[in-house]
Amino acid sequence: MKKIVFLTGAGISAESGIRTFRDAGGLWEEYSIEDVCSVEGWHRNPKLVNAFYQERRRQLVGAKPNEAHRRVAQLEQDFQVVVVTQNVDDLHERAGSSTIIHLHGDLLTMCSSFNKEDLAQHVHLSLDNVEVPADARAADGSLLRPYIVWFGENVPKLEDAIDEIQSADIVVIIGTSLNVYPAAGLINYARPDAQLFLIDPNPVKLPRNLTVSVIQQTASQGMQTLCEHLSSLKL
Ligand code: APR
């Protein structure tokens, strides 16, 4: 069975009503990354940071997976599929994908602000209760923080993601501006014989040495185009 690895970003969730970061109307037009997505911002004003992520959890409650998430999940019938996502929403899970690597954490998990990788301190939220008091504490006594990888923090699952990309026959990049490293550099780990695709309605800067088939469409339309192409190859 051929292996497809998807590298997804905020754009795959745009049609579910989840804001992207760098498009017009994106989150970074309204909030400063330093204030809500950095360790310094957390130490400066943890209540502001918790309020920012509380707002994003509330938005997630009303969001649903879209056609693109569903098509990614459905491809598991004919391929070994791994989703490597920069997204912190649970829409790939809800669409039915079974192997997902969250590079930047996940909105529905809170963690210790002493050590975010101490799994014993993790608090898993469910969509029917996403409210967390801004002063809630972890079992270790620290202030609970969102289990999100902030700028300047390491990406614990990076090696796993590299392993998956290196063993992929097909790599599909969907809905990411490829602005943020190390996630944006993952495509360079694709095998020379792997087929590379990019789905995005806007132009995205790609490494010049790579041959990438660009499908300049939204995620839902682009996934339909991709699926038609894959079935024509009878891979
Ligand atoms: N379908 C597909 N792609 C879309 C759609 C759509 N309907 N709408 C927008 N896009 C594309 C944009 O053209 C852009 O290339 O999605 C991409 C969104 O880029 P960003 O907003 O930069 O989001 P992303 O690349 O996921 O950001 C990476 O930055 O702030 C950090 O941690 C945060 O994980 C995030 C990381």
* Interval 127-177: pLDDT, tens: 999 999 989 999 999 999 999 999 999 999 999 999 999 999 999 999 999
Q: Does the beta carbon of 38 sit less than 6 angstroms from any atom of ligand 1? A: no
Where would I find the H helices in 3-150?
A: 27-30, 33-36, 39-44, 46-62, 67-74, 91-95
Q: Are 210 and 190 in contact (CB under 8 A)?
A: yes
Q: Does the beta carbon of 93 sit less than 6 angstroms from any atom of ligand 1? A: no
Q: Would you state the pLDDT for residue 234? A: 67
Catalytic annotation present for 69: no
Atom of ligand 1 nearest to the CA of 149: 32
Instruction: Please state the domain count of the chain.
Output: 2
Nearest CA to ligand 1 atom 26: 9
Q: Could you tell me if 75 and 184 lie in one domain?
A: yes
Q: Could you tell me if 123 and 231 lie in one domain?
A: no
Instruction: With a cut of 90, say whether residue 111 has pLDDT above it.
Output: yes
Instruction: With a cut of 90, say whether residue 56 has pLDDT above it.
Output: yes
Q: Would you state the pLDDT for residue 233? A: 81
Q: Would you state the pLDDT for residue 134? A: 87
Q: Could you tell me if 180 and 162 lie in one domain?
A: yes
Among 104, 122, 124, 229, the one annotated catalytic:
104
> Domain range spanning residue 48?
19-62+106-148
Average pLDDT over residues 54-59: 96
